[in-house]
Amino acid sequence: MTLQTLRAALAEAEAGEYAVGAFNVSSIDQAIAVLDAAEAEHSPVIVQSIAGMSAYDNESRWWTRLRGLVEEYTAVPVVLHLDHGRTYDDCVRAIDNGFTSVMIDASRSTDTDEPASFDENAAATRRVVDTAAPAGVSVEGELGTIGGAEAGVSGIVEEIVFADPDQAVEFVAQTGVDALAVAVGTSHGSVKFTDAAGGQRLRLELIAEIRSRLPDTFLVLHGSSSVPADAVSVINAHGGEVRPSYGISPAQKSQGVAAGIRKINQGTDSHLAWSAELRRFLQENPAVVEPSEQLRPAIGGFRAMVAQRMREFGSSGRA
């Protein structure tokens, strides 16, 4: 039952009225944590990688091994997804390495890092769809500006530009994407909102309106980590310097699912959990130099956070 396209996984989520978690991984250890959580929770899952964001110098080798690892987990349906592909070439390389889904994020110009025009975004996205569709690969696009700082895009801090429902309809008509990331009040990065109200800012009515007008296109929530305060506290108590902030609350994400979100991207929360357990272990065990002993608690923290999010998204028990 293992590898699926994004469209197939999200069609099942639509029928079951839940969301599938899409978890960013940058090493085999993190991928194992995600897949082990999926098995334990009997949950479908999206394992996603960002071009240029891994622990390895040879990306093709990393992606080949990631695909091989996913294929070993036959008890759960898994989508292997490229997150935030910045260029056509990023997406082609992922397709060539066996990814079943790619995201082309053409919402920003690759030349100037300024927001791209609607026409530029649509044309770049359509080009990826024209290549991916014959290969049986799903495509996710992005409309609007999510906000915050994206992984892999150094020096850019975006303002939120909300998705426009009329443009969303036109964008899907021009591109034929399977899924659409919509800007509805979330923000990328580990530092999101400075006040508690920030975690309550999802534009639920906007999600519902876009979904009603695009019933055959699956909506995606980016930048939706909750930034758990306990993980930040542990990191800072053990030598870290993560600025406390507020993310999107689990309750708001559940409301987003009810409004029509079917894919929820999570990177920061599991990375915070990994860092918290690793820092705690290293400070409490300063004489330990064996990597396996250091990694075990980090993997455990990552896995526990992923499992928690699967339960919150409603995907547990759906495999």
- CA distances from residue 10 to 44, 211, 287 in whole angstroms, order as listed: 10, 13, 47
d(CA 190, CA 196): 15
Catalytic residue among 83, 90, 105, 178: 83
Q: Which of 189, 304, 185 is nearest to 242 (CA)?
A: 189
Cβ(22)–Cβ(263) below 8 Å: yes
Active site residue 96: no
Q: At what angle do helices 88-96 and 118-132 cross, to 10 degrees?
A: 20
Taking alpha carbons only, the member of 199, 164, 202 closest to residue 185 is 202
Residue the block writes with tokens 């409309």: 143
The rounded distance, in Å, linking the Cα atoms of 257 and 18 is 6
Catalytic residues: 83
